[in-house]
A = this chain, B = another copy of it.
Amino acid sequence: MSDKNIPYKTYLDETELPKAWYNLRADMKQKPAPLLNPGTLEPMKAEELSGVFCEELVRQELDDTTPYFEIPQEIRDFYKMYRPSPLVRAYCLEEKLQTPAKIYYKFEGNNTSGSHKLNSAIAQAYYAKKQGLKGVTTETGAGQWGTALSMACAYLGLDCKVYMVKVSYEQKPFRREVMRTYGASVTPSPSMETAVGRKILAEHPGTTGSLGCAISEAVEVATSTEGYRYVLGSVLNQVLLHQSVIGLESKIALDKYGVKPDIIIGCAGGGSNLGGLISPFMGEKLRGEADYRFIAVEPASCPSFTRGKFAYDFCDTGMVCPLAKMYTLGSGFIPAPNHAGGLRYHGMSSTLSQLYHDGLMEATSVKQTDVFQAAEYFARVEGILPAPESAHAIKVAIDEALACKESGEEKTILFGLTGTGYFDMVAYEKFHDGKMTDYSPTDEEINANLVKLPKVN
């Protein structure tokens, strides 16, 4: 069906790797709304943020006018250990689907962290090291981000304290061991190590923890320990900046062949992968140089874009972090227990929220069993066992390719394959055994959280 002039996999040469990250906000006419101080409701200033984040990252977080940030040589050297990631032409999938569509995916799973998270982890660890810090703290749920940060810190000789949601710590011992291999200390959260942890344990003995609680513990330790700062793997502007390397590499590779995607698809939890993948393409769209369809794919069980509200909300469940204007389900929203994998954040990147609000991007939600069906199909055809998160994008890419088969259109589809599912086999097992179920919150459940949104004009 295909002429195969374009290789199955395109790896850029090291000399072709991006030398700067692209700051999408610089080209946005309608800038994302600023973070607000939860006490004063005034925009957060650099000095307020620098107690939590290291200085260069605060600068990146707040700068919405500089289009490019040079990637320091040390970070580029680290990138060379696992980048360029391949841009894959999915010939086998196209043939199996008998579609005239041309399908490409950017595969970010070929590193030990198993996902794209490493792109920002090394950047954040690098700036912490450069500032002379001793270490960083963070939280992790499923474990991809914690693993990535552990790897980056091991490389730079930086201390790394990870607060891992207790239920994950116990159910995903292998993720924990990978982090220990990289020398990180991994503490099940809530713990007795922090005031907030002790308070929660006193109030809720036997709790299995939540991401919100782990964030609170990590922030407490970072702000109360000399030489430490807190780092976060998604949602923030700085993270989208670092992740732009995904989209930049994709674009360089596609440009080589004169290929212009019609549709660009990514899964969306906090937005780190989607924001990174679409960045340079969205930049062209914002500057009026080209047009693309962008599709954010989220789980039906945690549908912030498709069923949430565009409003100021807390970034954490504990309501200690700044307020961000974003599509949110409310900071008290917790996905149903049957929800597998990541993409369980109640909110969404401010940048992506603004783009969606301005009609520059589409969003859709998909059911969990459909996602795993697509994941298994893809694994058998293309060989790669995808992470459940990534399989959200696969599901919609397949749907779009089948629509092309129906219409006879030869559209070009690009999607982000963010990672591998080697540590998600419990979810796959449930799927194989027919024990996986679907769940969408009712309107009442969603409204119950939305009515509690903070009142900010």
List chain A positions with a Cβ less than 8 A from chain B: 7-9, 11, 13-14, 80-82, 92, 110-112, 114, 151, 154-155, 173-174, 177-178, 180-183, 376, 379-385, 420, 422-423, 425-426, 428-429, 432
Contact = CB atoms under 8 A, between A and B. Distances in A.
B382 A81 contact: yes
A380 B154 contact: yes
A380 B182 contact: yes
Contact of A422 (B92, B174, B376): B174
A384 B154 CA distance: 12
A14 B426 CA distance: 36
A425 B177 contact: yes
23 contacts: A7-B14, A7-B80, A8-B81, A82-B383, A112-B379, A112-B384, A112-B385, A154-B380, A155-B380, A174-B174, A174-B422, A174-B425, A174-B426, A177-B429, A178-B385, A178-B428, A180-B428, A180-B429, A181-B380, A181-B385, A181-B428, A183-B380, A422-B422
Given A155-B383, A177-B432, 10 more contacts: A9-B80, A81-B92, A112-B379, A154-B380, A174-B426, A177-B429, A178-B422, A180-B429, A181-B428, A182-B379
Q: Tell me how many chains of this kind the complex includes.
A: 2
B383 A112 contact: yes
A432 to B, nearest CB: 5
B420 A112 contact: yes
Contacts of A82: 383
A308 to B, nearest CB: 32
A182 B422 CA distance: 13
Nearest to A13: B7
Contacts of A380: 154-155, 181-183
